[in-house]
């Protein structure tokens, strides 16, 4: 790949900074994409206790619900957030646990949790653009251009 392509790719990924991806460009136009653990604990508010790298793998949904308002997602929205979870760095090579999902909302922040039984074992902070896309999925919108084949 050429350096210009890498720089443009890094610039595009940098726009997802609050989503757990950051990028860095050196003066010689060489881009490096950092795919470590998301660095949004400070902005997670009440959800930081469940997004910290040292947090337990699974948390009771009732604990999350005790400090937030929970909204159950539709099956289509669940599949959408499951795909997002797999793509968020560090990128997973396995489907996350869960058979449903919720959005937890508190103090202007939102966290998505994939639920298995009564446990939330996969969680991530949801920026406004993700919540907007979730609403579109919930309305059955697909963003298609042109006529379906």
Name the pLDDT band for 63 (thresholds 50, 70, 90): very high
Domain ranges of the chain: 1-35, 45-138
List pLDDT tens digits, range 112-146: 999 999 999 999 999 999 999 999 999 998 777 77
Is residue 2's pLDDT more than 90?
no
Average pLDDT over residues 66-72: 96
Angle of the 128-138 helix axis to the 75-87 helix axis, nearest 10: 150
pLDDT at 32: 43
- Residues 68, 130: Cα–Cα separation, whole Å: 18
* pLDDT greater at residue 1 or residue 101: 101
Q: Cis link prior to 90 (omega < 30° from 0)? A: yes
- Residues 12, 117: Cα–Cα separation, whole Å: 37
Please tell me whether the overall predicted TM-score, pTM, comes out greater than 0.75 for this model: no
pLDDT at 88: 87
Average pLDDT over residues 33-51: 68
């Amino acid at each position: 790949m050429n350096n210009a392509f890498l720089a443009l790719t890094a610039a595009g990924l940098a726009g997802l900074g609050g989503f757990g991806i950051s990028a860095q460009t050196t003066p010689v136009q060489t881009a490096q994409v950092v795919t470590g653990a998301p660095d949004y604990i400070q902005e997670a508010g009440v959800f930081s206790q469940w997004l910290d790298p040292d947090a337990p793998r699974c948390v009771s949904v009732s604990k999350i619900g005790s400090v937030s308002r929970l909204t159950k997602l539709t099956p289509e929205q669940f599949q959408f957030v499951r795909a997002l979870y797999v793509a968020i760095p560090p990128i997973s090579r396995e489907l996350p646990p869960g058979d449903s999902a919720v959005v937890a909302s508190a103090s202007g922040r939102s966290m998505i949790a994939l639920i298995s039984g009564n446990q939330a074992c996969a969680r991530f902070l949801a920026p406004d653009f993700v919540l907007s896309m979730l609403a579109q999925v919930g309305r059955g919108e697909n963003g298609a251009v042109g006529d379906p084949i």
